[in-house]
Amino acid sequence: MVEAGLIVGKFSPLHRGHEHLILQAQQQCRRLYLLCYSLPEMPGCPASLREKWLRERYAELPSWVITPARVAAWRAAGKELPELPENDAAEGLHRQFVADFCREVIGETVQAVFTSEDYGDGFAAHLAASFGHPVRHVSVDRLRVTVPVSGTALRGDVHALRDFLAPSVYADFVERVVFLGGESTGKSTLSQRLAQVTGTQYVAEYGRELWEEKGGALVYDDLLHIAETQVARETEACAKASRYLFCDTSPLTTLLYCQSMFGRAEEALQRLAERPYARVFLCADDFPFVQDGTRREEDFRRWQQAWYVAELQRRGIDYQLLSGTLEQRTEQVLRALG
């Protein structure tokens, strides 16, 4: 059993091969440290996401996602660290950076490094020379037999290779598509139709469910609960979706109702209303208004439409207006998604 071990990677994205490597190292180390950096960052894999993935998957392990700004902060605090090397920098610069990071930030040198790469032996030898004690290289699945995937392949087509990602990691590559619009503008039918056509998931409007459950007697605190539940359902559905997730509504809609019903909104709800979506479609009010017993008058629908247009423009959010029949709107969305 090794006292302290180390894994260094880009984790762009964190895939099953990385997880296999980490599991093998955990079984051989009393303490295992994970270091992650990429300069420049890889498309779709910013530091914030890599940090999230490591936190979600390996909360029990000490991990650091290193960025130039964080290196600058450590240096300002007196840590003797070199600049973060770029991805194509000489191997020696990377190896020395890691050695210095172990001493200055982790506060401990390691006895083993775990990799699935050819550079592992030279990396371990450099650390050994820098630390003044032996460092063993443990090679895990070098030929990618156990987990036949690479970060490069995944970045090339993450959706085709989604089985090599944990569901919570893949969820961050799903594009959330939202439909906004006044009452009786076809949002629910359209989101369900598109999910069926594209073989993915949709998220229904929780606010309507709660309204029906409470017989229309919503209170002020219900609105924040509605927005939080809507977001939670999106997060859950993303892990099961494929490429796209169609959302019947968003917290922006909840904000509209909160302000129209109560004349105010909690700061937390206002923040949720800023939640970004990959695509925003506004359904025109050219459908005949259908009163199903849960809706307000048609004048309110016209007011809603004007509110959405003004609010989306004020927030600088790009959107596409959908009009015509359900079939026409479906085709408009599919063309926009490419």
What value, to the nearest 5°, has the Cα angle with vertex 160 and ends 159 and 162? 60
60 and 129 inside one domain: yes
DSSP 3-state of 28: coil
Q: Which CATH number belongs to the domain containing residue 154 in this structure?
A: 3.40.50.620
Give the pLDDT confidence score for residue 216 in this predicted structure: 87
Residue 164 lies in a domain: no
CA distance linking residue 14 with residue 28, whole number of Å: 21
Domain that holds residue 125: 2-158
Give the pLDDT confidence score for residue 322 in this predicted structure: 96
116 and 227 inside one domain: no
114 and 28 inside one domain: yes
Give the pLDDT confidence score for residue 297 in this predicted structure: 61
Can you list the pairs that 260-265 forms with residues at least 24 positions away whose Cβ atoms lie under 8 Å? 261/218, 261/223, 262/220, 262/223, 265/223
Spans of the chain below 70 pLDDT: 287-298
Give the pLDDT confidence score for residue 195 in this predicted structure: 98
25 and 119 inside one domain: yes
Rounded to 10 degrees, the C-alpha dihedral 205/210/211/216 comes to -170
202 and 103 inside one domain: no
0.85 cut: is pTM over it?
Answer: yes
226 and 115 inside one domain: no
Residue 46 lies in a domain: yes
Give the pLDDT confidence score for residue 288 in this predicted structure: 59
Give the pLDDT confidence score for residue 24 in this predicted structure: 98
Number of domains forming the structure of the chain: 2
Q: Which CATH number belongs to the domain containing residue 270 in this structure?
A: 3.40.50.300
Q: Indicate the residue among 126, 158, 190 that finishes a domain.
A: 158
Give the pLDDT confidence score for residue 136 in this predicted structure: 98
Q: Match 């964080």 to its residue by tokens.
A: 70
Residue 165 lies in a domain: no
Whether the CB-CB separation of 337 and 279 falls below 8 Å is answered with yes
192 and 243 inside one domain: yes
Give the pLDDT confidence score for residue 185 in this predicted structure: 85
Residue 166 lies in a domain: no
Residue 121 lies in a domain: yes
Dump pLDDT digits (tens) for 26-41: 999 999 999 999 999 9
Whether the CB-CB separation of 84 and 74 falls below 8 Å is answered with no
CA distance linking residue 11 with residue 42, whole number of Å: 10
Residue 259 lies in a domain: yes
Q: Indicate the residue among 97, 130, 158 that finishes a domain.
A: 158
Give the pLDDT confidence score for residue 218 in this predicted structure: 95
